[in-house]
Amino acid sequence: MAKHTLLTADRPTGKLHIGHYIGSLKNRVKLQNSGDYRSFIMIADMQALTDNARNPEKIRQSLIQVALDYLAVGIDPKKSTILIQSQIPALNELTMYYLDLVTLARLKRNPTVKAEIKQKGFGDNVPAGFLAYPVSQAADITAFKADTVPVGDDQEPMLEQAREIVRTFNSTYQQDVLVEPQGLFSPEGQGRLPGLDGNAKMSKSLNNAIYLSDNAAEVHQKVMRMYTDPHHIHVEDPGQIAGNTVFEYLDIFGTDKEHIAQLKAHYQAGGLGDVQVKRYLEEVLNAVLEPIRQRRHVYEQDLGQVYQILQKGSQVANEVAEQTLAEVRAAIGVNYFEQ
């Protein structure tokens, strides 16, 4: 029996990119294969709808892309339960009970939500479901009694809110039904992979991402337009490593550290062109991406099987969530017909 339970999730608003891979997916596969965890990997379609209610087709299409990305990176349905949030009704009921334990002021204080509200330009028209999504996220986590939540550090405020809800619930209803989750932040850190343009974050909306599903030609194009040292104009000029996106990627994805150290020394001394370094980065990225592309391709040929995996995973997850919900109902005392 696994010692721990982990749950993590992604909003299906687009395909996953190499920032997701390095920040989270790679680590999930490792945790899955460690045998120490019962793993639940969730596609958070309801959370994605909190700011896309009028564009459900985007979520529907992204959902299958995210599922393909999961399977492609090596999330194995025999070892991990892959589930779809909207297919687990217990999550909604849990959310309703938890909402009564959280104040509006507290919801408005969540720094990640605050930043998103600003970034999305909601002004005064924040969808209520959006403001409350950290509560729904607490339901996601606690429904499976997950003690471990591997996420990027932007999710720490959600975990803090989830822990508060757990403590309030358990003390209010005088029962230790819910489990406090801890974040597990991958050593490579999600925020750490900059975008192709040197922007601090790789993201779809900034149009600076390399997707797990990009083919070699797309990777070539994207790497060639990557941001390097703007002062490195002539090949013979000495170049800067610090803040040079190409070298940052090499540090993160490259395995031949010695070769990379040599390239850096050469670049700093002058005489090494950006294109040459970029060609090497292309090689490094393709070595990571090729097995992922191949697995993706196999599943793409059989989407029926992918939907079956999702349906089966959602069924398994449903049973677990229903069990927790039954305990929650009993703790609150809304199990009128059971005694």
List interacting residues with ligand TRP (CB under 6 A): 7-11, 44, 47, 137, 140-141, 149, 151, 155
The least CB distance from residue 151 to ligand TRP, in Å, is 5
Q: Which is nearer to ligand TRP, 11 or 163 (CB)?
A: 11
Q: How far is the CB of 23 from ligand TRP (least distance, A)?
A: 10
Token representation of residue 189: 């850190």
Contact predicate 219/288, CB 8 Å: no
Residue closer to ligand TRP, measured from CB, 7 or 284:
7
| Number of neighbours of residue 242 by Cβ within 10 angstroms | 7
CA–CA distance from 272 to each of 224, 239, 278 (Å)?
15, 8, 11
Q: Which residue is nearest to ligand TRP (CB)?
A: 9
Q: Which is nearer to ligand TRP, 20 or 278 (CB)?
A: 20
Whichever of 155 and 244 has its CB closer to ligand TRP, that residue is 155
* Cβ-contact 34, 79 below 8 angstroms: no
Name every residue whose Cβ is closer than 8 Å to that of residue 108 and which is 6 or more positions away in sequence: 114, 131
CA-to-CA separations, 67 to 61, 75, 305, 307, in angstroms, rounded: 10, 10, 11, 9
- Residue 128: phi, psi to the nearest 5? -60, -40
Closest CA to 185 of 158, 214, 218: 158
Of 162 and 246, which has the nearer Cβ to ligand TRP? 162
CB of 16 to ligand TRP, least distance (A): 11
- SS3 at position 3: coil
Q: How far is the CB of 214 from ligand TRP (least distance, A)?
A: 21
Residue placing its CB nearer to ligand TRP in the complex, 44 or 49: 44
Map tokens 């999930």 to a residue: 28
Handedness of CA 88, 155, 122, 19 (dihedral sign): negative
Least CB distance to ligand TRP at residue 41 (A): 10
Angle at 244 between CA 240 and CA 250, to 5 degrees: 115
CB of 293 to ligand TRP, least distance (A): 24
Nearer to ligand TRP, 150 or 239 (CB): 150
Q: What is the C-alpha separation between 286 and 28, in angstroms, rounded?
A: 21
Q: How far is CA 25 from the centre of its chain?
A: 7
Report the C-alpha gap between 285 and 279 in whole angstroms: 10
We find the least distance from the C-beta atom of residue 154 to ligand TRP, in angstroms, to be: 8
State the nearest-atom distance from the C-beta of 140 to ligand TRP, in Å: 4
Cβ-based nearer residue to ligand TRP, 97 or 247: 97
